[in-house]
Chains A and B, each alone.
Chain A
Amino acid sequence: MSRLAKGGLIDRSQPLDFEFDDRRLKGYAGDTLASALLANDVRLVGRSFKYHRPRGILTAGPDEPNALVELRSGARREPNTRATTVELYDRLVASSQNRWPSLGLDLMAVNRLVAPLLGAGFYYKTFMWPSAFWEKLYEPLIRRAAGLGTASGLPDPDTYEKANAFCDLLVIGAGPAGLMAALTAARAGARVILADEDFRLGGRLLSDNPLIDDRPGADWAARAVAELASFPDVTVMARTTVFGVYDGGTYGAVERVSDHLTTPPAHQPRQRLWRIVAKRAVLAAGATERPIVFGGNDRPGVMLAGAVRTYANRHAVAAGDDVAVFANNDGAWLAARDLLRAGVAVRTVIDIRDTVDPALTAPLREGGARVLTNSRVIGTSGKLLGEIEVLADGHRARIAADTLAISGGWSPTVHMTCHLGDRPVWNEEISAFVPDRTPPGLSVAGAAAGKFGLSECLSGGAGAAIAALGDLSIRATLPATPRTEDEPRRVTAFWHVAESKGAAFVDLQNDVTAKDIAIAHREGFRAVEHLKRYTTLGMATDQGKTSNLTGLAIMAALTGKGIPQTGTTVFRPPYTPVAIGALAGHHRGREFRPTRLTPTHAWAERQGAVFVEAGAWLRAQYYPKPGEADWLETVNREVLAVRSGVGFCDVSTLGKIDIQGPDAGTLLDRVYINAWSTLGVGKARYGVMLREDGMVMDDGTTSRLGPDHFIMTTTTANAAKVYQHLEFCLQVLWPELDVQLASVSEQWAQLSIAGPKAREVLAGIVDAPFDLSNEAFPFMAAGEATVLGGTRARLFRISFSGELAYEIAVPARHGVGLAEALLAAGATPYGTEALGVMRIEKGHAAGNELNGQTTAADLGLGRMMSKKKDFIGRALSQRPGLTDPKRPALVGFRPVDPAQRLRGGAHFIPMGADAVAANDQGHMTSVAYSPTVGHWIGLGLLSDGPDRIGERVRAVDPVRNADIEVEVCHPVFVDPQGDKLRV
Chain B
Amino acid sequence: MRKGSAPSRTCTDMRIPCPYCGTRDAHEFGYLGDATTRRPDGGDPFDQVHIRDNPAGPHEELWYHGAGCRRWLVVSRDTRTHAITGARFAKEPA
Q: A: which residues have CB within 8 A of B? A: 246-250, 279-280, 421-422, 437, 439-441, 692-693, 720, 724, 727-728, 730-733, 735, 875-876, 879
Q: Are B72 and A280 neighbours in the complex by a CB distance under 8 Å?
A: no
Among A440, A692, A733, A875, contact of B13 (Cβ-Cβ < 8 Å): A440
In whole Å, how far is A983's beta carbon from the nearest beta carbon of chain B? 43
Closest A residue, CB atoms, query B27: A275
Closest A residue, CB atoms, query B74: A732
B94 at the interface (CB under 8 A from A): no
- Complex Cα gap A730–B91 (Å): 8
Q: Are A731 and B89 neighbours in the complex by a CB distance under 8 Å?
A: yes
Given contacts A731-B89, A731-B90, A733-B39, contact A724 B30 (CB under 8 A): yes
The listed residue with most B CB atoms (<10 A of its CB), out of A249, A439, A732, is A732
In whole Å, how far is B66's beta carbon from the nearest beta carbon of chain A? 6
Residues of A within 8 A of B14 (CB): 246-248, 250
- Complex Cα gap A875–B50 (Å): 13
B3 at the interface (CB under 8 A from A): yes
Q: Are A279 and B91 neighbours in the complex by a CB distance under 8 Å?
A: no
Given contacts A421-B1, A440-B11, A727-B64, contact A732 B72 (CB under 8 A): yes
Q: Are A692 and B49 neighbours in the complex by a CB distance under 8 Å?
A: yes
21 pairs, A vs B, C-beta closer than 8 Å: A247-B14, A249-B11, A249-B12, A279-B11, A422-B1, A439-B9, A692-B39, A692-B49, A693-B50, A724-B30, A724-B64, A727-B70, A727-B71, A728-B32, A728-B64, A730-B91, A731-B91, A733-B39, A735-B90, A735-B92, A876-B49
Residues of A within 8 A of B70 (CB): 727
Q: Are A248 and B12 neighbours in the complex by a CB distance under 8 Å?
A: yes
- Complex Cα gap A735–B88 (Å): 14
Q: Are B91 and A735 neighbours in the complex by a CB distance under 8 Å?
A: yes
In whole Å, how far is A436's beta carbon from the nearest beta carbon of chain B? 8
Q: Are B46 and A879 neighbours in the complex by a CB distance under 8 Å?
A: yes
Residues of A within 8 A of B50 (CB): 693
Q: Are A875 and B40 neighbours in the complex by a CB distance under 8 Å?
A: yes
B75 at the interface (CB under 8 A from A): no
Q: Are A248 and B49 neighbours in the complex by a CB distance under 8 Å?
A: no
Closest A residue, CB atoms, query B71: A731
In whole Å, how far is B12's beta carbon from the nearest beta carbon of chain A? 6
B18 at the interface (CB under 8 A from A): no
Residues of A within 8 A of B64 (CB): 724, 727-728
Q: Are B90 and A441 neighbours in the complex by a CB distance under 8 Å?
A: no
Residues of B within 8 A of A879 (CB): 46
Closest B residue, CB atoms, query A440: B9
- Complex Cα gap A730–B90 (Å): 10
- Complex Cα gap A930–B53 (Å): 52
Given contacts A421-B1, A727-B70, A728-B72, contact A876 B11 (CB under 8 A): no
In whole Å, how far is A197's beta carbon from the nearest beta carbon of chain B? 24
Which residues of chain B from 1 to 16 have a CB within 8 Å of any chain A CB?
A: 1, 3, 9-15
Residues of A within 8 A of B30 (CB): 724
Residues of A within 8 A of B11 (CB): 248-249, 279-280, 440-441
In whole Å, how far is A440's beta carbon from the nearest beta carbon of chain B? 4
- Complex Cα gap A720–B13 (Å): 28
Q: Are B10 and A440 neighbours in the complex by a CB distance under 8 Å?
A: yes
- Complex Cα gap A876–B51 (Å): 13
Q: Are B72 and A727 neighbours in the complex by a CB distance under 8 Å?
A: yes
Residues of A within 8 A of B91 (CB): 730-732, 735
Closest B residue, CB atoms, query A729: B72
Residues of B within 8 A of A731 (CB): 71-72, 89-91
- Complex Cα gap A746–B15 (Å): 30
Residues of B within 8 A of A422 (CB): 1
- Complex Cα gap A279–B15 (Å): 12
User: 3 closest pairs, A vs B, by CB?
Assistant: A875-B45, A440-B9, A441-B11
Residues of A within 8 A of B3 (CB): 437
Closest B residue, CB atoms, query A692: B49
Residues of B within 8 A of A246 (CB): 14
Q: Are A248 and B13 neighbours in the complex by a CB distance under 8 Å?
A: yes
B62 at the interface (CB under 8 A from A): yes
In whole Å, how far is A727's beta carbon from the nearest beta carbon of chain B? 6
- Complex Cα gap A879–B15 (Å): 40
Closest A residue, CB atoms, query B80: A421
In whole Å, how far is A599's beta carbon from the nearest beta carbon of chain B? 24
- Complex Cα gap A727–B66 (Å): 10
In whole Å, how far is B67's beta carbon from the nearest beta carbon of chain A? 11
Known: A280-B11, A440-B13, A728-B62. 12 other contacts (CB 8 A): A247-B13, A248-B11, A248-B82, A249-B11, A439-B9, A440-B11, A731-B72, A731-B89, A731-B91, A732-B62, A735-B91, A875-B40
C-beta contact mask, B44-87 vs A, less than 8 Å → 1, else 0? Answer: 01100110000000000010101000111000000000100000
- Complex Cα gap A250–B27 (Å): 13
- Complex Cα gap A724–B64 (Å): 8
Residues of A within 8 A of B45 (CB): 875-876
- Complex Cα gap A732–B49 (Å): 15
Residues of B within 8 A of A440 (CB): 9-11, 13
Closest A residue, CB atoms, query B93: A735
Closest B residue, CB atoms, query A870: B40
Closest A residue, CB atoms, query B38: A733
The listed residue with most B CB atoms (<10 A of its CB), out of A248, A250, A730, A733, is A248
Residues of A within 8 A of B26 (CB): 248
Q: Are B13 and A732 neighbours in the complex by a CB distance under 8 Å?
A: no
Closest A residue, CB atoms, query B8: A440
Among A249, A693, A724, A876, contact of B66 (Cβ-Cβ < 8 Å): A724
In whole Å, how far is A620's beta carbon from the nearest beta carbon of chain B? 29
Residues of A within 8 A of B89 (CB): 731
In whole Å, how far is A871's beta carbon from the nearest beta carbon of chain B? 12
Closest A residue, CB atoms, query B83: A440
Residues of B within 8 A of A692 (CB): 39, 49
- Complex Cα gap A733–B38 (Å): 8
- Complex Cα gap A731–B10 (Å): 30
